[in-house]
Amino acid sequence: MVELPERIVMDPEILEGRPVLKGTTILVKFVLDRLAAGESATDLLRTHPGTSREGILDCLYFASQVVSEYRSLPDPGSIPLPARIAVSPEIVFGKPRIEHTRLAVELILEMLSGGQTEAEMLHNYPRIARADLLACIRLGALMVRAHKPAATLA
């Protein structure tokens, strides 16, 4: 089950219960879409005053939690995998991962949500490229959009 980070809310009275940044109507998916499109957190903060650095990190953490449930989806194939992301049952237990690596998408999103910068990630993992990081965030955005809280699944 996905736990909501401190700065994310899912309230049926706000945008039909879709995850938003607390105290705003800024969708988590919107933040992730902007990041996946290559917009920097600094630009996002400047253009959307309702956001905060911590809120952006919480969006990435929420995405990591949602992506971690990929294998338990009734139909995982219903989520289109972005280019550069692969799923193979025999590699990292069938979790979505960066193609040609064993780096799970949820791990990448967790590290980004912990404050690691793009430059640090690329330095620490020389086999990956910026496009791989953006693809991980894109999958997070797609899965957040499809995410249904447990209470609405009944």
| Tokens standing for residue 67 | 């992506």
CB 63 within 8 A of CB 140: yes
Task: Collapse the DSSP code of 84 into the 3-class scheme (helix H, G, I; strand E, B; otherwise coil) and give the result.
Answer: coil
Question: Is there a domain that residue 2 lies in?
Answer: no
What CATH number is given to the structural domain containing 114? 1.10.10.10
Nearest CA to 130 out of 86, 87, 91, 98 is that of 98
pLDDT at 152: 44
In a domain, 3, yes or no: no
154 pLDDT above the threshold of 50: no
Structural domain harbouring 88: 8-152
120-151 pLDDT per residue, tens: 999 999 999 999 999 999 999 999 998 876 54
- What does the pLDDT look like over 63-86, one tens digit per residue? 999 999 988 777 777 888 999 999
72 lies in some domain: yes
How many structural domains compose the chain?
1
Angle between helices 53-67 and 28-36 in degrees, nearest 10: 90
Over the stretch 2-16, which tens digit does the pLDDT of each residue have?
A: 888 999 999 999 998
